[in-house]
Structure 1
């Protein structure tokens, strides 16, 4: 797309976005050395989740703790969107 040609507010490059996703990509690549295929996939999922927390301003440990507790306490599947990192609100 060439939106930046018609809208002066749009930046020509995507450096900001690239800088945000770089840690996610690096963690996924590091998962290749986990020693086992399934271990690598699991590591990649967790690393992606942690980096997504950071991008959305959620402290990863607090997010994971609260989310796992909510699931263990019977959080309804119909409301899973509430447990996504960008919807997380610490309860303190």
Structure 2
């Protein structure tokens, strides 16, 4: 059963009082970009392209990564 196999990962917040149970902070940072992305997703326009790009940038930031270097490395890996 999934919950039994993942119990240590699911209860880590109990052992560390600094961790939050929710993801409100991440949601708050991504919400404006996600809203724009939903509006422009799959529109073949410059705005639609920018919405997707902003989403990628904010996702990198939300994961503690520097967007420029993360995406540069990703594009280099894709070209190999």
Q: Deviations over 1:31-53 (max 9, x none)?
A: 55x7xx33343323222211111
CA distance in 2, matches of 1:60, 1:41: 19
Taking structure 2 as the reference length, the TM-score comes to: 0.53
How large is the RMSD of aligned CA atoms in angstroms?
Answer: 3.3
Gaps of 5+ in 2: 1-10, 15-20
Give the number of aligned pairs.
63
Gaps of 5+ in 1: 1-6, 75-92
CA distance in 1, matches of 2:51, 2:34: 5
Taking structure 1 as the reference length, the TM-score comes to: 0.48
Aligned to 1:63: 70
